[in-house]
């Protein structure tokens, strides 16, 4: 019974409003902004980190 109640309260919290950040006409949810920043950081890291085994072939 307790796990069912916890599942129902967790499902009810999914419909809650998130934290939105706005700058002019640009508005983004905080969770989405974090995902976008992490994706950009991974892309930049992939550009600058050496490819494994790339230097030993020459």
Residue 31 lies in a domain: yes
Query: For residue 52, what pLDDT is reported?
Result: 77
Residue-wise pLDDT tens digits, 5-48: 676 676 666 667 889 999 999 999 999 999 999 999 999 999 99
Tokens of 24: 């002019």
Q: What's the domain range around 35?
A: 17-48
pLDDT higher for 2 or 38?
38
Residue 1 lies in a domain: no
Please state the pTM of the whole predicted model: 0.60
Alpha helices in 1-58 (DSSP H): 2-13, 30-48
Query: For residue 37, what pLDDT is reported?
Result: 98
Tell me how many domains the chain contains.
1
Residue 2 lies in a domain: no
Cα–Cα distance, 44 to 53 (Å, whole number): 20
């Amino acid at each position: 019974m307790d796990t069912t109640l916890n599942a129902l309260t967790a499902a009810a919290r999914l419909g809650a409003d998130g934290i939105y950040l706005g700058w002019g006409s640009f508005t983004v949810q905080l969770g989405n902004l974090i995902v976008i920043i992490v994706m950009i950081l991974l892309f930049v890291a992939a550009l600058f980190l050496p490819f494994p085994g790339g230097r030993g072939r020459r």
